[in-house]
Chains A and B, each alone.
Chain A
Amino acid sequence: MPEDPKPKPKIDLNRREMPKQEEHIRSHNFLEVALGYTSELAMAEARRCLQCKKPFCVSDCPVQIKIPEFIQAIADGDFAAGSRILKERNSLPSVCGRVCPQEEQCEKHCSLSKRGGTIAIGRLERFLGDWEGAQSEMALPEAVHPTGKKVAIIGGGPAGLTAAADLIKAGHQVVIYEALHKMGGVLYYGIPEFRLPKTIVDREVDYLRRLGVEMHTDFVVGKTRSMDSLLEDFDAVFVATGAGLPWFMEMPGNNFNGVYSANEYLTRINLMKGYTYPRNDTPIKRHKKVAVLGGGNVAMDCARTALRLGAEATIVYRRSRTELPARLEEIENAEEEGVQFRYLTLPVRTIGDDRFNVTALECLKMELGEPDASGRRSPVPVPGSEFILPFDSVIHAIGNSPNPLIPQTTPGLTIGKKGNVVIDSETGKTSKERVWAGGDIATGAATVISAMGAARKAASSIHEFLMS
């Protein structure tokens, strides 16, 4: 047996915790909950990485970040090098480090996970992104020779921003059209400040602007200008308009005042900065008892927001805790902060008063039956178990359909049953010539990183098309 030149390092299973604001303090403010690693903590965490020859973490990453390499750079204390490696594959590291479900992706098959010491890849990614953001000058990659080709990107969310970064780095001219007055899409209007500070979104967007990406806000493609008209000026178009049509549970009473879609509730607070009202003009109601219907990350965001606005917040979910689709980290944060959970409870009717304000929610008790197609045990109503819970607000956080504006206004685009733009899953190509799509508009509501992965595939297909 050949001799190992280096002594075998002792395996360190102590995953370094990231400091957080204490729960009794953070439940009353909108500042970020997780405070991030210090350089010392980041280096200590990075040194635990085994630097596997066949890194499973990379193969489970939708954008194939060179994870062991950037972790090694952190371990060596060379944060600038780490940042460069990270940004080769991911233009939004500070965002992804915060909102990616790492436990389902890179960290899931970490060689140390079976021994309970999974490397905190997400926290390290966040550390590097934030470190670079804190430097006076963010390094730009070397300028490439312009190709003379022009690409229009519709939607300034995670998919649009990722495609823009890849395409501009390949030398194409890139213009993003965003319907709202801020870039960032769901990163801006959806994810709350306490989980993803908007200064970070602004910073990552600004980086793309400095790379040369042209951005037009307040521009609704399909309304302000049609897709066909854009195709006259651009060589290719990438549609990344997201899942922007909210669902409401099918039950009576959804139009009482005090009932919101999660999108409306979060948009008022995040995009319109309603939590500073009346300093900002968009009004919000100070509800006292808020019910949030649903069990995903968006439901947790709504409940934790309601709590911060002084309400008592309750998640009403028809299955049990094990089936909650939200990330464990978000569930734990919500629990620590004092969000209440009503499991095995199915809302059947919202009740209002004669002034049309919500007063209560009528629910049914549920029990868990056989596992359904998703593998989760399906809930079955208990007959005659109706009961009433008092609330003055009900937020529906049960998902979104793809935004209908592009499908409605673009001839020649094949649309799927769920209102999604149909694409080739390998290339992102749509049925319309020179038009690609990716992210939630193609798949329905999913994660930030899966949208970014889809955008990366589409960008590479667009690049190939433009260079052929």
Chain B
Amino acid sequence: MVKILENKMIVPNICTITVFAPEIAQSVKAGQFVILRVEEDGERIPLTVSDWDVEQGTITLVYLLVGKTTQRLATFTANDTLATVVGPLGNAMEIDRFGKVICIGGCYGIASIYPIAKALKEKGNQVTIIVEARSSYLLFWQKKLKSVSDQLIVITRDGSQGMPGHIGKLQTILAAPGTPPDRVIVNGCNYLMMRAAQETSPMNIKTIVSLNTLMIDGTGMCGVCRVTVNSSTKFACVDGPHFDAHEVDWDELTQRRKAYLSEESQTMRSSQAQ
């Protein structure tokens, strides 16, 4: 049982939860995730660790309200306990002195890109962070992100803050005068990661994405997280979740994400009816 210290909605449909998990806080590295189970009969869902505090023994996860499990999770408050928080799982993001790095985050990825940018900055990289959202009211953690970057660029669909448009604007950013980045790292929904990869591909910029597939155990045992990368099958949980965006089979990934869509909406309907 894992104790919740804080659980709150930070912008519509996105919550942060901080739990007491000292062993995970001690060993987690940027880009790793945990598997969480809310209650005894609950399903296991993977969530990226977006922040942690070794001294306090806490980890912070950011989640989007998408289905029954996350809706249920949002009803829990400080001092409640969760059935399972296990990890850190997956490989850490490769952190090195690359030079100039652009980190892109959308949706929950605005949070999960934070520890990656932080580690890159500490390693001496020149870090630009781009965050993308539908509107300014869906943005969060901007102060934190500024503190670990040399530049923070905001893109909103409705133009309420920063550049108007969507991740397609990356093209303009990459085309700006000066040297192109040595590496681009993208966290967020499949569409964001895929579109970003399309923009960096013609310029041959190494682009790393952190895939967010279905998972059960998260330790290589079940294989539901299969993705095709460079024509071979990989398990996102033990081989990833970070892969070269230009080698990922995005169509397959998108379809595999949808495998349980009808069951998920049925579960949602029946849980809301109760």
Task: Please give the residue numbers on chain A whose beta carbons come within 8 Å of chain B beta carbons, in ascending order.
Answer: 179-181, 189, 217-220, 223-226, 244-246, 248, 254-255, 257, 260-261, 263-264, 267-268, 272-273, 277-285, 355-356, 403-405, 408
Contact = CB atoms under 8 A, between A and B. Distances in A.
A106 B87 CA distance: 41
A309 B208 CA distance: 41
B242 to A, nearest CB: 15
Nearest to A276: B41
Contact of B216 (A226, A268, A278, A408): A268
Given A255-B228, A255-B233, A181 B86 contact: yes
A224 B88 contact: yes
Contacts of A279: 41
B255 A283 contact: no
Nearest to B90: A223
B27 A223 contact: yes
B267 A283 contact: yes
Interface in B96-153: none
A355 B84 CA distance: 34
B86 A254 contact: no
Interface stretch (B162-170, B185-193, B194-202, B217-225): B217-225
Interface residues of B, number: 41
B85 interface: yes
Contacts of A255: 226-228, 233, 252, 256
Contact of B222 (A261, A277, A404): A261
A255 B221 CA distance: 16
A219 B68 CA distance: 25
B77 interface: no
B23 A225 contact: yes
Contacts of B42: 280-281
B21 to A, nearest CB: 9
Contacts of B221: 189, 244-246, 263, 267, 403
Contact of A285 (B217, B219, B228, B263): B263
Per DSSP, chain B at the interface is mixed
A257 B255 contact: yes
Nearest to B264: A283
Given A180-B217, A281-B42, A356-B252, A218 B86 contact: yes
Contact of A257 (B24, B219, B227, B256): B256
Interface in B215-268: 216-217, 219-224, 226-228, 233, 238, 252, 255-256, 258-260, 263-264, 266-267
Contacts of B44: 181, 272, 282
Contacts of B266: 278
A68 B238 CA distance: 47
A404 B238 contact: yes
Nearest to A190: B221
Contact of A355 (B87, B238, B255): B255
A223 B29 CA distance: 10
Per DSSP, chain A at the interface is loop
Nearest to B222: A264
Contacts of A355: 255
Contacts of B258: 257, 356
A273 B44 CA distance: 12
B95 interface: no
A225 B22 CA distance: 11
Contacts of A219: 23, 86
Contacts of A272: 43-44, 216
A179 B41 contact: no
Contact of B223 (A180, A261, A285): A261
Contact of A254 (B23, B224, B233): B233
B19 interface: no
Contacts of B23: 219, 224-225
Given A263-B223, A356-B252, A220 B69 contact: no
A263 B223 CA distance: 8
Given A278-B267, A281-B69, A403 B41 contact: no
A62 B258 CA distance: 46
B267 A281 contact: yes
B84 A218 contact: yes
Contacts of A404: 220, 238
Contacts of A261: 222-223
A225 B43 CA distance: 24
B172 interface: no
A403 B219 CA distance: 8
B118 to A, nearest CB: 21
B205 interface: no
B34 to A, nearest CB: 9
A356 B83 contact: no
A245 B86 CA distance: 19
B103 to A, nearest CB: 24
B219 A405 contact: yes
Contacts of A181: 37, 44, 83-84, 86
Given A255-B252, A281-B267, A355-B255, A267 B216 contact: yes
A278 B258 CA distance: 18
B219 A244 contact: yes
Given A225-B27, A263-B221, A264-B224, A281 B238 contact: no
A279 B266 CA distance: 12
A67 B86 CA distance: 42
Nearest to B67: A281
Contact of A223 (B68, B83, B89): B89
B270 interface: yes
Nearest 3 CB-CB pairings of A with B: A356-B255, A283-B263, A264-B222
Contacts of A189: 217, 221
A403 B216 contact: no
Given A219-B86, A223-B88, A255-B228, A281 B43 contact: yes
27 contacts: A181-B44, A181-B83, A218-B84, A220-B219, A225-B23, A225-B27, A245-B220, A246-B222, A254-B233, A255-B226, A255-B228, A255-B252, A257-B255, A264-B216, A267-B217, A267-B221, A268-B216, A273-B41, A280-B42, A280-B43, A281-B43, A281-B68, A282-B44, A283-B264, A285-B259, A403-B221, A405-B220
